Amino acid sequence: MELNDANLQTLTEFLRKTLDPDPAVRRPAEKFLESVEGNQNYPLLLLTMLEKSQDQVIRVCAAVTFKNYIKRNWRIVEDEPNKVSDADRTAIKANIVNLMLSSPEQIQKQLSDAISIIGREDFPQKWPDLLTEMVNRFRSGDFHIINGVLRTAHSLFKRYRHEFKSNELWTEIKLVLDTFALPLTELFKATIELCQTHATDVNALKVLFSSLTLISKLFYSLNFQDLPEFFEDNMETWMTNFHGLLTLDNKLLQTNDEEEAGLLELLKSQICDNAALYAQKYDEEFQPYLPRFVTAIWNLLVSTGQEVKYDLLVSNAIQFLASVCERPHYKHLFEDQNTLTSICEKVIVPNMEFRSADEEAFEDNSEEYIRRDLEGSDIDTRRRAACDLVRGLCKFFEGPVTAIFSGYVNSMLGEYAKSPGQNWKHKDAAIYLVTSLASKAQTQKHGITQANELVDLNEFFVNHILSDLKSPNVNEFPVLKADAIKYVMIFRSQLPKEQLLQAVPLLISHLQAESTVEHTYAAHALERLFTMRGPNNSTLITPAEMAPFTEQLLNNLFKALALPGSEENEYIMKAIMRSFSLLQDAIVPYIPTLIGQLTHKLLLVSKNPSKPHFNHYLFESLCLSVRITCKANPTTVSSFEEALFPVFTEILQNDVQEFLPYVFQVMSLLLEIHSNSIPSSYMALFPHLLQPVLWERTGNIPPLVRLLQAYLEKGGASIASSAADKIPGLLGVFQKLIASKANDHQGFYLINSIIEYMPTESITQYRKQIYILLFQRLQGSKTTKFIKSFLVFINLYCVKYGAIALQEMFDSIQPKMFGMVLEKIIIPEVQKVSGPVEKKICAVGITKILTECPSMMDTEYTKLWTPLLQALIGFFELPEDDSIPDDEHFIDIEDTPGYQTAFSQLAFAGKKEHDPIGDAVGNPKILLAQSLHKLSTACPGRVPSMLSTSLNADALQFLQGYLQAATVQLV
Amino acid sequence: MPTKNVVDARISKFKNKGKDPATLREKRISACVELRKANKDENFLKRRNISVDLSSDYISNEMVASLVIEDIIKDVNSNCRESQTRGCQAARKLLSQERNPPLKEIIDAGLLGRFVSFLSMDDEPNLQFEAAWALTNIASGTSWHTQQVVEHGAVPSFIALLASPMLHISEQAVWALGNIAGDGASYRDILIECNVVPALLARISPDTPVGYLRNLTWTLSNLCRNKNPFPPLSAVLQMLPSLIQLLHLSDKDILSDACWAISYLSDGDNERIDIVVRTGIVPRLVELMSHKEISVMTPALRSIGNIVSGSDLQTQVAVDAEVLKVIPVLMKHKKPSVQKEAAWALSNIAAGPCRQIQQLITCGLLPPLVEQLRNGDFKTQREAVWAVTNFTSGGTVEQVVHLVQSGALEAIINLLQVKDAKVILVILEAINNIFMAAEKLGETEKLSLLVEELGGLDRIEMLQNHDNELVYQAAHTLIEKYFGDGDVVGVKVESTEEAFVFKTSDVKRTFEF
């Protein structure tokens, strides 16, 4: 591609077309550009265009295209062709800085980004003169250019803030410091001087303050990894000037915008960060300056207004004070009573006030409000910062701070009492203050777990919280109502039970409040109260204590789901689930009505599942309804099936992917309730469950396997008789699952159920193939998990079909195979099997091999008899071998790329542990003793001689113990 | 663990980690590029300029005539002994001024060759002495200056001068050689090849004056100094017995330099450490860690720090010498650099097997460790965090529980807000280790609640926004693994539309497991 006018012309035309709204025009143009971008000179053509084109739009478009081109192509990836020719690379690096600095801002930004992408790859080695070129521009005196340089430098250096220390990184930083630190310092001083000479020129000031902010950001990046020698030597200059800037105000720079932070705020905020960095990491060197900064920042806080635009500055500044006041050697800066009072009064209290922005969120954006207020995503808010400062101060001054705040709380409550309608915000602030003062440790599960002993939480509850809860009009002062509910919720572990019981019916009535925040809080508070544990590990609040309120609770919860804005409110749905779980039998009379409402809800949300938590709790509630009702009367299962199957069918037909794992679990639950037969409605579905498309989704696998296991358990015979043609498909699923290291255990669950429940004759013809597949996998990719499952399977097979069948099967696949499996797999690996049922199966299976398999006694397998017995005794007596070879740690991650939907396991659809051997064998050790006894009587003398020649002494001693316990003797 | 690759970079340097018994504990990372001011305590040792009178035996600066460079050149180049001596005297006076001595000018004037030739004039001790002094001061300049002295052939002459019957001349040679040795590994090894070591050691005797011994010890220390490569083993073995002897003297300057020498020799792989440990000097070093002079205590602590970065056995020697009684004291030292060094040593002992960890508990090291995590200087906190991570990865479940009960968990959680990605990652690793211990006790849920109560959950959640990819991943994994919402748990097979095809491949092959 020549660098000529014709090509410029062509590219311009295509660039223009990429802006066309019509995809028929736009797409081919984009395709074309993509197809030519590999040509030499392409990037230079773009640069020429963005510099020289007459059309402003084309210039910007060329700049953006250029940046994206650099982003995609600049990095040289090993073993891949270099996508930008060396000539182009050199030309770009030679021109781009100049071009960036002489371009208008819009283009400058794009080129600055491009420089930092190139810099990330090439700087410093392959772009040695970049820094000097930049530094030289500082002398231009043109702040448009200087700011361009500073911005580029910032994008190059900001990675120093988060990368790990390394020789490579520090060499780069050192190089940057050598060329950049001094000019930057000179620029900093000069810029501050210019601010003074131009103190009345607002336009000049704006540019200069942008420079100062960028310089402060660069300071942060360059000082982040360690304190550089240069900055230690020049600390006086920097800190004195930073301090000066913190205390500076200039009317001209104040903005009218309430929301957007102005230049002054941005600069001061960065300076707070810089001071915090030094205070934290370079305390020894920074100590002389720190008190000055504390005073300045505190004064700054006192004089800063309530507008949103100051939020970042205020929260940064408060966080600085919070981190300093916890350090023992700065304690003295705060301990004066006047200082403390002043901080409490002028810094903390004002920042805890409920602002109009909070009020707007409470009314119009309840989700956001709840997230901040309840779930703690309030990291950058003023309230959170103020809370942190309270906690920091309490470390050394809990008594005085509590006393100061008590006075405030009382006066604010007094104000409220005078005129609640006007002064309700005072009470809100008072409650917030008490909460932040009292809470020393908190968890979602238990609320506040450690409280400030100087605050009487119960008294405050009785005197100030209960009244709001009891107020008959739930819609009056919704913020205070929400505060009161939240108080109960977070201090639930601190309040006496009788207070909580008193609160329950009040909370139930607040479920009807119109305010979304208020009824959500009520639902959440109830849900949390219901999870509290009382003595004996039972729930603190009993179903009996709930009896008087049960009907109203259920009514109000379901009514709340109909309130506008709460149609898919996860807190309410979770409260429904928790209520069901708490009330158990008491909900049975209501279920016929409630199940209709739940299925209706399910139908609605399945059209467009958007709230995963809501949906999860909805399914949990369905499971609870089924379990609780059917426990009392299993025949009611059919009525659930009648209610649910139409919706389930719709979900399956529309392939609502998010819901399939849930549906399979509920169906498993329902099917497992049936006594040993399988309704035809289920059989009709069976072929569909084998469809590969379902099994391609990871989240479906566990619930589908469980469902198929339920089919086999209840209908193994039906499948054999009426759907025998589906057996290969079923085995195909098994084959698919054992091919995956992540899912092989699920494949074994399935094959175990097939062995256990399918009539023998229906699978005889497939048995050999099954083993060949397993052996192939064993040979190709042997993992610990696979071996454990494999051992359980072959032993289960042995228990079901006998040891002879197992031996003959193996040896029919390959001569002497049985011996090889014993020697290479069973004997060395059995110690790894875990789980009580799994261990029992293996113990019984191995006992059968030892005692019911003639070829173990008189063929070349005989030499394996004692080692196998020894392994079995070790299996009984030694701790489980839970070692995993090093290279296996990451299997689950490696083997499931593109893992999208996690398997959403329903807690209340739980499956019972199944023991295929059951009571037939109580104690496997006794079984071993008895079986050995039987063997020894069949061939007298052989068993004792085998034992005495090669069984080790410890094992022999254990074995004698078993024989004694079973009261048998070997002959 | 997702943090594997990064933390392992350092973890693998700790012994017993990464399942490779041959890997070492954390060695000093001084080979790294430094951004900080060089540590003043160490650097002034490297070269010394003589700006004060050595003794009153000979002519002091005040009595020497001040000459301009031109006159000096003339004098030195003359053939008259008297002029030569006068010129040398004037030159060493100029070179002894504290500010900007004219090193370059003297070199450019071509005087070095002359000075060197004067060194061998045994019959002119004054001239010998003055020339040696002038050369010493030139060699105390930059590397380039030292190079000029060496390239003019001064080394053999100085070594010969060591044997001078005149003590002050011999001492001058010691000094000059010290400056040359301090320049770096290559000159150091040239000196060693010229047999400087036996010549130096020959001067040590019961009646060697203290002042002389100080210089000699310092020169020895420079001969032990510098890595890449280390000084030859044979030379080290020659010097060690004398260094051990010197370490039993009481002069603080001698002790200081002898300790520095040991610290250089022990700053290497385990074989190097072993040579030091086998001399039996460890108990004396531990004793010197309590020396009231900071100039002695610092290199003693450094040496022991190096030794406990060695093998379990080497560490055990220091532990048996009761180093664990001294470390807590030093962790409270008023100088943060001492605290840091002590915490570093502690972190290496914590990287040992659980019986050493147990000794660390028994000797009461946990309270000072937690105190440093809470209120220490950042550099110390960083080492203390490593100590916790090592402790949690090598300790038994009971030991980890003990650590948590001592307040370490709370302290490291607080440190999750530090502005250092690596430290954060190391803390996340420690928290993960503690969770693994809790898993063995079946108490992960309890630990999750504790971490949440201590404000850790909030912090770890916030770290999921960290710009460093590995920090983000480690935080994310912890959250996924241990802080899921209590209720929400979180080979190609042929197929047709309807089902998978169940079949075995036709390829016949023999199974062999």
What is the ipTM metric for this complex?
0.74
**Are the beta carbons of B511 and A613 separated by less than 8 Å?**
no
pLDDT at B14: 56
Task: Find the CB nearest B35 among A229, A613, A732.
Answer: A229
Q: Chain B within 8 Å of A171 (Cβ-Cβ)?
A: yes
Chain B, 358 to 417: residues with Cβ < 8 Å from chain A are 375, 377-378, 417
Q: What is the mean pLDDT of residues A191-208?
A: 92
Angstrom CA distances, B485 to A265, A447, A493, A637, B413, stand at 39, 15, 20, 30, 21
Q: What is the mean pLDDT of residues B285-305?
A: 95
Q: Closest approach of chain A CAs to the CA of B205, in angstroms?
A: 44
pLDDT at A141: 86
Chain B, 18 to 37: residues with Cβ < 8 Å from chain A are 19, 31-37
Task: Tell me what percent of the residues of chain A surpass a pLDDT of 70.
Answer: 97
What distance in Å separates the CA atoms of residue A478 and residue A358, rounded to the nearest whole number?
13
A300-309, A877-886, B468-477, range with greatest mean pLDDT = B468-477
What distance in Å separates the CA atoms of residue A448 and residue A489, rounded to the nearest whole number?
9
Residues of B whose CB is below 8 A from A173: 35
Q: Chain B within 8 Å of A327 (Cβ-Cβ)?
A: yes
Q: What's the token pair of residue B261?
A: 């020498």
User: Other CB atoms closer than 10 Å to residue B23's CB: what's the count?
Assistant: 15
Lowest mean pLDDT segment, chosen from A601-605, A793-797, A899-903, B477-481: A899-903
**Are the beta carbons of B502 and A825 separated by less than 8 Å?**
no
pLDDT at B354: 92
**Are the beta carbons of A739 and B492 separated by less than 8 Å?**
yes
Task: Find the CB nearest B452 among A173, A282, A444.
Answer: A444
Q: Any idea which residue has 């006790």 for tokens?
A: B441
CA closest to B376 among chain A residues: A327
Q: What's the token pair of residue A645?
A: 């199957």
Residues of B whose CB is below 8 A from A741: none
In this structure, what are the phi and psi dihedrals at residue B393, rounded to the nearest 5 degrees? -90, -20
What distance in Å separates the CA atoms of residue B307 and residue B282, rounded to the nearest whole number?
9
**Are the beta carbons of A813 and B511 separated by less than 8 Å?**
yes
**Are the beta carbons of B33 and A280 separated by less than 8 Å?**
no
User: Other CB atoms closer than 10 Å to residue A184's CB: what's the count?
Assistant: 24
CA closest to B9 among chain A residues: A166
The string of pLDDT tens digits covering residues A348-373 is 988 988 888 889 999 999 988 998 88
The string of pLDDT tens digits covering residues B240-272 is 999 999 999 999 999 999 999 999 999 988 999
Lowest mean pLDDT segment, chosen from A394-408, B43-57, B102-116: B43-57
Torsion of CA A589, A593, A596, A599, to 10 degrees: -50
pLDDT at A77 over 80: yes
Q: Chain B within 8 Å of A815 (Cβ-Cβ)?
A: no
**Are the beta carbons of B462 and A379 separated by less than 8 Å?**
yes
pLDDT at A901: 39
- Residue that wins the pLDDT comparison between A532 and A676: A532
CA closest to B382 among chain A residues: A281
pLDDT at A377: 64
In the three-class reduction of DSSP (H, G, I as helix; E, B as strand; rest coil), residue B28 is classed as coil
DSSP assignment string, B33-94:
---SPPPHHHHTTT-----S---TTS--GGGSPP--HHHHHHHHHSS-HHHHHHHHHHHHHH
Q: Closest approach of chain A CAs to the CA of B26, in angstroms?
A: 15
Residues of A whose CB is below 8 A from B6: 164
Q: What is the mean pLDDT of residues A782-804?
A: 93
What distance in Å separates the CA atoms of residue A344 and residue A397, rounded to the nearest whole number?
12
pLDDT at A110 over 70: yes
What distance in Å separates the CA atoms of residue A218 and residue A159, rounded to the nearest whole number?
11
- Residue that wins the pLDDT comparison between A480 and A884: A480
Residues of B whose CB is below 8 A from A777: 491
What distance in Å separates the CA atoms of residue A627 and residue A631, rounded to the nearest whole number?
6
The string of pLDDT tens digits covering residues A500-556 is 999 999 999 999 999 999 999 999 999 999 999 888 878 899 999 999 999 999 999
Q: Closest approach of chain B CAs to the CA of A113, in angstroms?
A: 18
What distance in Å separates the CA atoms of residue A614 and residue A609, rounded to the nearest whole number?
9
> Quick one: which of A165, A270, A157, A284 has its CA closest to A222?
A157
Q: Are A148 and A101 in contact (CB under 8 A)?
A: yes
Q: Are A779 and A772 in contact (CB under 8 A)?
A: no
Q: Chain A within 8 Å of B491 (Cβ-Cβ)?
A: yes
What distance in Å separates the CA atoms of residue B258 and residue B244, rounded to the nearest whole number?
8
**Are the beta carbons of B418 and A813 separated by less than 8 Å?**
no
**Are the beta carbons of B504 and A613 separated by less than 8 Å?**
no
pLDDT at A480: 96
pLDDT at A708: 95
**CA A524-A525-A531 angle, 5° bins:** 90
Chain B, 59 to 98: residues with Cβ < 8 Å from chain A are none
Torsion of CA B206, B212, B213, B214, to 10 degrees: 150
- Packing angle between helix B323-331 and helix B312-320, nearest 10 degrees? 80
The string of pLDDT tens digits covering residues B368-378 is 999 999 999 99
- Mean pLDDT across chain A: 90
Which letter does DSSP use for residue A160 in this model? Answer: G
Residues of A whose CB is below 8 A from B487: 574, 577, 616-617, 620, 907
The string of pLDDT tens digits covering residues A148-174 is 899 999 989 999 999 998 888 999 999
pLDDT at A900: 34
Q: Are A440 and A450 in contact (CB under 8 A)?
A: yes
**Are the beta carbons of A732 and B502 separated by less than 8 Å?**
yes
Task: Find the CB nearest A739 among B421, B486, B493.
Answer: B493
pLDDT at B61 over 60: no
Residues of A whose CB is below 8 A from B468: 162-164
Which letter does DSSP use for residue A261 in this model? Answer: -
The string of pLDDT tens digits covering residues B466-475 is 989 999 999 9
**Are the beta carbons of B449 and A446 separated by less than 8 Å?**
yes
**Are the beta carbons of B420 and A281 separated by less than 8 Å?**
yes
**With bands split at pLDDT 50, 70 and 90, how would you rate the model's confidence at B339?**
very high
- Report H helices in B162-311: 167-181, 185-193, 196-201, 210-224, 233-247, 252-265, 270-277, 282-288, 294-307
CB pairs below 8 Å between A and B: how many?
A: 174
